Every structure is written in structure tokens, then in C-alpha cells.
Amino acid sequence: MSAEVVRLSDYRMDDGAEGGIDLAIAVDLATAVDVAIRDLREILLCWGSEIARQRAEECESTLRRAYSEFVTYQTVSQ
């Protein structure tokens, strides 16, 4: 089983889009979690392999970036 790696930046809404940055940040965070869940399923199927390690690193990086952007935006908007 293999999954396509989705870069969140490919799907990010620009700041001028209807709904503004709030929606873009929420979509990025929700998308990151969704992609991470699918990646973790794939990691479990090939546990111990190099591909599993790479997927885990990609998953962690995607979640870290999305969470960081979310937290940064929440801090700035308060």
C-alpha cells in the first residue's frame, strides 16, 4: 500500500480568499491531521522499513508546521 504525499502548501487558500486567513489556517490544520492519520496507517503496514521512517518524518514535519502556524495565528489574533 502506498499513499501520495500531499503538500499542504499546494492546497492553501490565499489570504484574500473568502473567509480570510482564519479559514485557511483551520483548513491547513484539519488537512494536516487527516493526512497524518492516513500516513500513520501506512507506517504501521511497513513498520521497521526505511519508507516507514521517511513517512514518519514527513508526518511529523507536516503536523509541526501546521500546528505552529495555528498557534502563531491564535497568539497574534488575540
Alpha carbon distance 28, 3 (integer Å): 19
C-alpha cell at 2: 502506498
Quote the pLDDT of residue 4. 56
Number of structural domains found in the chain: 1
d(CA 32, CA 38): 10
Assigned domain for 15 exists: yes
What cell does 33 get? 491531521
- pLDDT at position 51 is 92
Between CA 50 and CA 32 the distance in angstroms is 22
Over residues 1-10, the mean pLDDT reads 54
CB-count exposure of residue 66 (10 Å: 0-12, 13-18, 19+) = buried
pTM beyond cutoff 0.85: no
pLDDT tens readout for residues 20-55: 567 677 778 888 889 889 989 999 999 999 999 999
Provide the residue range defining the domain that includes 45. Answer: 11-77
35 occurs within a structural domain = yes
